[in-house]
Structure 1
């Protein structure tokens, strides 16, 4: 049952609703108020299981005070959301009043649930009156990965009423480029603008009954060149519908979109920092004298277990992605890679496995900054990277650490990368490797973020791990340009085969999806066994006795040898060999 609200809370909510209603007609803004590491060893432990209530996101309105359906409340309780986030507290009551909303909030603020909850709540009420199969809600997203993420969030919110509302992800079958034959009319459709337009043109989708239009990550949608597709989709919509537009930034393109789809919208612009405060997100940087120091430091952090928990590693190019993976594999540090070259289905499955905790390390290529106007790249390469962004639009769950192996070239890229951790009510850590050529970018980022968000120096004693240098340099010599090229070709072949199995065989055998792994070894040669462990004489003195000891093989001793001899004598094969004079011949002195 839904908890009863007191008269005091009811009066306060009415006053808030009146104030917001007055401001919405004039497009007014609704504002919401919201130790350096000294020496080695440093052990950064994951905090993914601890969800503390942040001081900067204290909300007053509870979910049970919003008058939500009991089935929707049951799903929210199952998700273990203690209370609405700041954007949810302000957006849900306004959406239930039928207002158009233009919201700006940082990554991980709960924007998806902010528009999904009121849509489901109103749709459940309509279903009780007239349960006619119609497509009522259309959600436009910039990428296939985000389409999967939104669909999963809707499925979780509909867990207690899945029989009443049907949700469809149009990007699920987009990898083969074919049309999707709709066996049942979905109530909610999620997809990229191009995919929605293609299905409408093919006659598989009816948009004449749409009551809700959502454009999620609108700035990213426009940056991918979907503006014309959105205009064509809007022409097919009815005269009246409610619109939600969410964006991380407001630009001139957003203003043009606002005039196209929004009518007297309420502007929700949360007064908050670009990243969570230092109480939840700890940021460090370490200066590396050379490129080799980056690889040595990465090896030390992972192999000596100075960083624990799920870790997302960002690089600036696909070549460096494979170089780092091949380097780590030589020390039996296995990780998954994520870039635009991989098939869509493989990328989605790799993200799903990472979120489930099947492996702890993922190397992701941030390609959002590689295709600026001043950069000349082939059209084929741009097409491969379209609709793909790792730093944005992908829901990495319970990430404890973010490592910037290559420092991002813009402050926006840094914010979106680091925003992959410390999401919701969790805390996290971000560590950036900075070479001599990247110091200017570091100083620019520190100036933009301010004192509270400042990246503190990571005081790592490089002299303590100097003994690891020769091992790392030997491993780096094997990572040649030809080895990287062969690894990329082999990875593509493997993932394409896996992608075909996923869309064919694994549709009939969903349990076999668990067998498919995306952290396979790229190097065809055998990994040297002695590189798997760090010799005790190379371990820094401060860490001796802290790291788990390697299990040694049992030494030869006479007692074990005698026992083995007695067991052999009982064996019938031994008796037969003993009777053969050619095999039992002994030299007598």
Structure 2
């Protein structure tokens, strides 16, 4: 199905098609095929789609059409709002608006507002008004408190990666934002999963939404491997694998900011061009580092989960779980950084003795069967650790140490009187 059959207006279609072609979009993905016609019709929408499925363009194309077909207003009035969970995703979404709108006769003014940086430049950027604001919830509320913008005339609200918004604790902020918005609006909710809290959010914020869920054909083609390895030899194993031709560009996940700095330093000492990406870095440095990785100036980016959320690297060949994710649900988010836009990808997880039980839980929760293999020369010597029982998807193992939440659960269980 070509983009011309998605219900977009002939008035804007030629300009959008030209921008799509320049950006490398050859034909719409399944989520775009199903979502764009409904959004163009003005319907509220709940769309379930994994990372890498093309969901950003699925709402940006109709949003750009809505902007072009609306009469221009002076001063500019904020009509479209996109809420995302992380700074990196906000920058990515804003970039898609600019990229796909660059051939339009009239282009929207897009302002990206995120936390972690000074609020003053963002307030200055909003002084002339904005057509589209892409924001993280906390910073948006800060701007509202400073009277830097108004949401009273927003016509389109997009909640992107809604499951992650709630996982990161933005539930209260979302409710505050919804209270500031007009009741007559179009609302689009995009999520990789549909747990009960997402259903509650949809019931509260959407009007008779259509539901779209892409089928199996849209699942990324990712080869998943697991390697048994002693914890102390993981860096040595990673360095050995980096010599493989496919490993020209690698995103490595670790469990903490300190671990990301440590591992990146070890790799640089061994002659690998590597950098760490985590929340302690300034926004400017994170942006420069991401751009360097996208431009293949870095071979390895060592990242924590929050920092890497929203990273979209075209044709990223390899993702490595140096530390397993604490939540089994984060496993799919991590490996979804590769195998995007129809490309093949490789996801490799390191499994030491202490994390074998957690690896089995990850496989069970995500309905995958990936047996941990042993590589010649890296046979593990550690004895199998005592299995740790994980109560739910929010618990788990982070390295060898139980989390604070796990320790509290254990203490509560020990204090409970026997029946």
TM-score if structure 2 supplies the norm length?
0.82
Contact 2:81 2:154 in 1 (8 A): yes
Aligned to 2:185: 241
Q: Secondary structure at the match of 1:363?
A: strand
Structure 1: how far apart are the matches of 2:227 and 2:328?
17
Q: State the 1:275 CA deviation.
A: 5.4
Aligned to 2:257: 318
Aligned to 1:6: none
Structure 2: how far apart are the matches of 1:305 and 1:66?
42
Structure 1 residue 293 and structure 2 residue 233: aligned? yes
Contact 2:187 2:205 in 1 (8 A): yes
Contact 1:111 1:246 in 2 (8 A): yes
Aligned to 1:338: 277
Q: Which moved more, 1:227-236 or 1:349-358?
A: 227-236
TM-score if structure 1 supplies the norm length?
0.59
Structure 1 residue 153 and structure 2 residue 96: aligned? yes
Q: Structure 1, residues 481-506: CA drift from partner, whole Å, max 9, x if none?
A: xxxxxxxxxxxxxxxxxxxxxxxxxx
Structure 1 residue 104 and structure 2 residue 21: aligned? no
Aligned to 1:442: 359
Contact 2:7 2:37 in 1 (8 A): no
Q: State the 1:273 CA deviation.
A: 8.5
Residue from 287, 309, 321 that aligns with 1:348: 287
Residue from 225, 237, 249 that aligns with 1:284: 225
Aligned to 2:377: 462
**1:425–1:462 distance in 2 versus 1, CA, 3 Å:** same
Structure 1 residue 199 and structure 2 residue 140: aligned? no
Q: Secondary structure at the match of 1:407?
A: coil
Aligned to 1:428: 345
Q: State the 1:253 CA deviation.
A: 1.9
Q: What is the aligned residue count?
A: 373
Contact 2:246 2:317 in 1 (8 A): no
5+ residue gaps, structure 1: 1-60, 367-388, 465-589
Structure 1 residues 27-106: aligned runs within 5 Å: 61-68=1-8, 69=12, 70-106=14-50
Contact 1:102 1:244 in 2 (8 A): yes
Structure 1 residue 164 and structure 2 residue 104: aligned? no
Residue from 78, 82, 85 that aligns with 1:135: 78
Q: State the 1:287 CA deviation.
A: 1.1
Cα RMSD over matched residues?
2.4
Q: State the 1:228 CA deviation.
A: 2.7
Q: Structure 1, residues 144-164: CA drift from partner, whole Å, max 9, x if none?
A: 211111101111111112743
Aligned to 1:491: none
Q: Structure 1, residues 350-393: CA drift from partner, whole Å, max 9, x if none?
A: 11221121111111123xxxxxxxxxxxxxxxxxxxxxx13533
> Could you say which structure has the higher strand fraction?
2
Contact 1:310 1:398 in 2 (8 A): no
Q: State the 1:174 CA deviation.
A: 5.6
Structure 2: how far apart are the matches of 1:443 and 1:294?
19
Aligned to 2:385: none
Q: Structure 1, residues 30-70: CA drift from partner, whole Å, max 9, x if none?
A: xxxxxxxxxxxxxxxxxxxxxxxxxxxxxxx3201224321
Q: State the 1:428 CA deviation.
A: 1.0
Q: Secondary structure at the match of 2:293?
A: helix
Q: Structure 1, residues 494-529: CA drift from partner, whole Å, max 9, x if none?
A: xxxxxxxxxxxxxxxxxxxxxxxxxxxxxxxxxxxx
Structure 1 residues 256-275: aligned runs within 5 Å: 256-272=200-216
Structure 1 residues 512-523: aligned runs within 5 Å: none
Contact 1:309 1:399 in 2 (8 A): no
Aligned to 2:404: none
Structure 1: how far apart are the matches of 2:346 and 2:320?
9
Aligned to 1:176: 118
Contact 1:410 1:441 in 2 (8 A): no
Q: Highest CA radius of gyration, 1 or 2? A: 1
Residue from 397, 403, 411 that aligns with 2:328: 411
Structure 1 residues 489-568: aligned runs within 5 Å: none
Q: Secondary structure at the match of 2:226?
A: strand
5+ residue gaps, structure 2: 380-419
Q: Secondary structure at the match of 2:189?
A: strand
Q: State the 1:459 CA deviation.
A: 5.6
Q: State the 1:457 CA deviation.
A: 5.2
Structure 1: how far apart are the matches of 2:378 and 2:128?
65
Contact 2:116 2:282 in 1 (8 A): no
Q: State the 1:227 CA deviation.
A: 2.6
Structure 1: how far apart are the matches of 2:249 and 2:197?
36
Q: State the 1:421 CA deviation.
A: 0.3
Aligned to 1:144: 87
Structure 1: how far apart are the matches of 2:190 and 2:77?
25
